[in-house]
Copies of this chain bind each other. A is one copy, B any other.
Amino acid sequence: MKVKHILYFLFLFHSFAYAQESLDFNAKKNISSPEVNGKTVTFRLFAPQAKTVKIQGNWMDSSPVDLQKGTDGVWSFSKADFTPDIYTYSFLVDGVKANDPNNAYQVRDVSSLMSMFLVAGPQSSSYEVQRVPHGSVTKRWYASIGLQEDRRLTVYTPPGYESNKGKYPVLYLLHGMGGDEEAWMTLGRASQILDNLIASGQAKPMIVVMPNGHTSNAAAPGESAKGFYKIDMMTPDIFTGDMETYFHEIISFTEKNYRVKSDAKDRAIAGLSMGGFHSLYISANQPKMFDYIGLFSPAILPPQNKQSPIYSDLDAKLDVQKNNGYKLYWIGIGKTDFLYQSVTDFRNKLDKNNFKYIYVESEGGHTWSNWRTYLNEFVPQLFK
């Protein structure tokens, strides 16, 4: 680049920086953080007046850890030997949460925003955007007659869907209590996982439909007529039976609007936590609908609305499902998950009834790291 070009850019940069709404060009010192160097990551924060700066990360079992202050007012902390994965963290500056102002990448989980980074390696390459054909991701609305409102869902269509003529199998992929129709794309990296598995021939091209599992919310926070309301996890719609009751609307919307195969052997349903609970009951109540079922750390807890016919006679329903036959019933849970015991109880019930399933027990707990891994393992087994 010629000198005059460099000068030109400097001029532009300063003009635009001044004009941007970005408010913190002066408040942050432009340092490198997080600096990912192989499996070692260094975190830095410019905070000359702070008395303490700590970091809390999702790889830590412990309390927040102190950063060390340098003579230039930059605090820092390094950690080696990260397992390749996506990680989240926040700083605590004199007790106040502050995300890393030098890191533009954040994710929201429930009502919390956290800085994020990726440590590259074999285990995390499926979460990266690779130079492979990419599917399309659409935010779309369907009319729910049962819930009397338009509701939003996310649809992944595989590379080539628009130009091909053929029909595709469908995976319905459900989120947990803290999530919405965006969670599998943001925290779950579903489009990257699907793109990469399809490109390498490990998975069949498929459509993935990700609805919103909260029947009291039409869409993700900020994307519905509720506006920018304060997010509260205590939505009164958990385990009421409404999601299961009206799920057929999502299936018919999909089958009407996309070129999909509409028989059980080309339909899968899977979900994490609350979505695992939903997948269990949706498939048990419609025992001819899905040949593939995935329960990722499922929240198999006593249903709130016990009177609902959705939750009655589960044993008899599972018996019908078993006799109808299915190709895959997949259950995954982490060894330290707080739901471990309830999943063990459910497995005992299945064992007693000779209900066949694949069981994967992983390290760790109730985490997106596990759910990304489960999706990566589950999807290649579909529609074979």
Q: Which chain A residues have a beta carbon within 8 Å of chain B's beta carbons? A: 1, 5, 8-10, 12-13, 15-25, 27-28, 32, 45-51, 56-58, 88-90, 92-99, 101-102, 104-106, 108-114, 116-118, 120, 128-131, 133-134, 136-141, 150, 152, 162, 176-178, 187, 219, 221-225, 227-228, 230-231, 233-234, 236, 238, 257, 273, 301, 304, 337-338, 365-368
Contacts and interface: CB of A to CB of B under 8 A. Distances in A.
A108 B97 contact: no
B27 A92 contact: yes
A15 B338 contact: yes
Copy tally for this chain in the complex stands at: 2
17 contacts: A12-B177, A16-B233, A20-B110, A21-B368, A23-B56, A23-B112, A24-B112, A25-B112, A28-B97, A32-B230, A93-B93, A97-B98, A104-B113, A105-B222, A105-B228, A118-B228, A133-B141
A104 B231 CA distance: 7
Contacts of A128: 225, 227
A130 B226 CA distance: 9
Contacts of A22: 109-112, 114, 178
Contacts of A49: 51, 94-96
A373 B9 CA distance: 29
A104 B10 CA distance: 34
